[in-house]
Structure 1
Amino acid sequence: MSTTDHPQPLTPEEEAVMRALGRFLIVVPRALDADLTREQRMSASEYSVLRQLSEAPGQMLRMSELASACDMSLSGMTRLAAKLESHGHLRRIRCQEDARGANAVLTEGGLTRLREAWPTHLASVRRHIFDHLGDLDLSRLAAAFAAMS
């Protein structure tokens, strides 16, 4: 018998968590993006690309890996990379191992831009997320979120 044949109804507490989580997943990313856009003229997607590259070995990732890390389609990443490249924040180079692929490489200008935007992002994350968590066990919360993904 499948678990969908006779699903167990949610308790009122589970229903409250589900509704709050659903709202969180919509509202918080928009709020983080709005803060970066307003204060830095940078989207959360742009910030995410620069952050991922800054943390990668050699500050370089294959475009398909970068798209996956940023939860974007490859075509969406290609458009965003072109924009960031036009601003001097990254370079795209051919993969040495596979000439059909391309790598994105963070430039000094991109790293500088990330460092400029970081305080805004940090303040936004604190204001929209951590200021509301009080004394919750953050290690357990992080483990629970990791188990869901």
Structure 2
Amino acid sequence: MTDTRWLSEEEHVAWVRFTAVLELLPSALDLQLETDAGLSHFEYFTLAMLSEAPDHTLRTSALAARTNATLPRLSRVVSRLEAAGYAERSTCAEDRRATNVSLTEAGRQKLVRSAPGHVGAVRRFVVDQLTPEQIHELSAISAAMLRQLDPEGRMHATGNPPQDPSGSAPD
């Protein structure tokens, strides 16, 4: 039997605070996007991942990896985005067994219209609360945790900085 390495007081406080952020931030982002754009955060994130892909198209499995979604969850979200005219599915030309998901022009426009409010919320809840040094630390801390949580690097969280929906500046 192994000995449990209990958290120190400082580690415990940090963990409780981090857990509170994990609980509160998704709801706050969802509320802003639902109110301002009629999208959930996950729908927005799905559109954003498609906007960053070559030709604004990804195989369903690649989109699931980039959004950290199960295929059934992604399928439900893509169905909603299709019904709204923001995305479309097609058979993959390279592998007829696979399905591609593409961002439509209406989806790109929705993303462009939704981005300013979302970026404002990200600034309000996270970025503007931190110093430039803390932003750098947050990035390094997140990267360290992602190395453990996503050792295969499936998430799109590493690599090139994302662009805004118009394709010109980082988010």
TM-score, normalised by the number of residues in structure 1: 0.92
Residue number among 55, 58, 62 corresponding to 2:55 in the alignment: 58
Q: Which residue of 1 aligns with 2:123?
A: 126
Task: For 1:53, give the aligned amino acid.
Answer: L
Task: For 2:105, give the aligned amino acid.
Answer: E
Task: For 1:118, give the aligned amino acid.
Answer: A
Q: Which stretch has the larger CA shift, 126-135 or 68-77?
A: 126-135
Q: Distance in 1 between matches of 2:114 and 2:132?
A: 28
Runs of 4+ in 1 over 4 A off after TM superposition: none
Residue number among 5, 11, 14 corresponding to 1:8 in the alignment: 5
Identity of aligned residues (%): 35
Aligned length: 146
Report 1:1-149 matches (<5 A): 5-149=2-146
Q: Distance in 2 between matches of 1:137 and 1:12?
A: 22
Task: For 1:89, give the aligned amino acid.
Answer: Y
Compute the RMSD of aligned alpha carbons.
1.4
Structure whose CA Rg is larger: 1
TM-score, normalised by the number of residues in structure 2: 0.80
Gaps of 5+ in 2: 147-171
Q: Which stretch has the larger CA shift, 127-136 or 16-25?
A: 127-136
